[in-house]
C-alpha cells in the first residue's frame, strides 16, 4: 500500500531562494471528490496520473503512475476541471530532508508553500528559518481546493 506522509507550511520570506531553478508544473483534476482525488500532472518533460485518498492528518493513500506527456496534455486540455494549478517547484535539502517549495502562478499567484515528505507521522523535523505557519490540515491549501477557490479570490 502506498502511503504519503507530508507536512505543509507557508513560506514567510525569500531566504530559501538560490540559483536552484524551479520546474514548471501544470496539473488538473479529473475527480475532486472529498474521498478520492484523481490528478493529471505535467512536471517538466514528465507526466503522471495520481490517485489520492482522503487526508487523515498528515497521512493518506497515494498511487502515482507515469504516463506519456502527450496523453497528459490531452487530458489537461479536454477533461480536467478548470482552472489548472500552475506553479514552479523548487527542491531544497535541509537537515537531511528534501523540501519542495511551490511558487504558484496563474490563478494562485502570490501563494508560496513548502512541503516535506516524512517516513513516519511522528518524525521530528528541524524547520528552516524561512518556514512560516504550518497548514498541514487546512483544506484551503490543498491543490484541489485551489482549483475550486483560487488564492486570488481569498
Give residue-wise pLDDT tens across range 34-58.
899 999 999 999 999 999 999 887 7
- CATH number where 75 lies: 2.40.320.10
Residue partners of 72: CB distance under 8 A and separation at least 6: 40, 41, 42, 47, 48, 49
Rounded to two decimals, what is the model's pTM? 0.92
**pLDDT at residue 4, rounded to an integer:** 87
**pLDDT at residue 83, rounded to an integer:** 94
Cell of 95: 537537515
**pLDDT at residue 1, rounded to an integer:** 56
Residue partners of 102: CB distance under 8 A and separation at least 6: 25, 87, 88, 89, 90, 111, 112, 113, 114, 115
The domain in which residue 9 lies consists of 3-153
**pLDDT at residue 39, rounded to an integer:** 97
Catalytic site residue from 29, 65, 94, 142: 29
Gap between the Cα atoms of 110 and 2, Å rounded: 32
**pLDDT at residue 95, rounded to an integer:** 95
**pLDDT at residue 20, rounded to an integer:** 78
First CA to last CA distance, the chain = 36
- Our count of domains for the chain comes to 1
Give the E-state strand segments of the chain in sequence order. Answer: 3-11, 23-33, 36-43, 46-52, 59-66, 81-94, 97-105, 112-117, 131-134
**pLDDT at residue 26, rounded to an integer:** 97
Residues of the chain with pLDDT under 70: 1
Residues, the chain: 154
Active site (annotated) includes residue 29? yes
Amino acid at each position: 500500500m502506498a502511503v504519503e506522509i507530508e507536512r505543509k507550511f507557508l513560506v514567510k520570506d525569500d531566504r530559501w531562494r538560490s540559483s536552484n531553478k524551479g520546474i514548471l508544473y501544470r496539473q488538473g483534476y479529473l475527480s475532486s471528490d472529498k474521498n478520492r482525488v484523481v490528478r493529471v500532472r505535467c512536471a517538466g518533460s514528465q507526466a503522471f496520473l495520481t490517485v489520492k485518498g482522503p487526508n487523515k492528518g498528515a497521512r493518506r493513500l497515494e498511487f502515482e503512475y507515469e504516463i506519456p506527456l502527450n496523453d497528459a496534455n490531452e487530458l489537461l486540455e479536454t477533461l480536467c476541471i478548470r482552472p489548472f494549478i500552475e506553479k514552479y517547484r523548487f527542491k531544497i535539502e535541509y537537515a537531511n530532508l528534501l523540501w519542495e517549495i511551490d511558487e504558484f502562478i496563474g490563478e494562485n499567484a502570490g501563494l508560496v508553500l513548502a512541503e516535506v515528505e516524512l517516513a513516519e507521522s511522528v518524525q521530528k523535523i528541524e524547520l528552516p528559518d524561512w518556514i512560516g505557519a504550518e497548514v498541514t490540515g487546512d483544506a484551503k491549501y490543498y491543490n484541489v481546493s485551489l482549483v475550486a477557490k483560487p488564492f486570488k479570490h481569498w
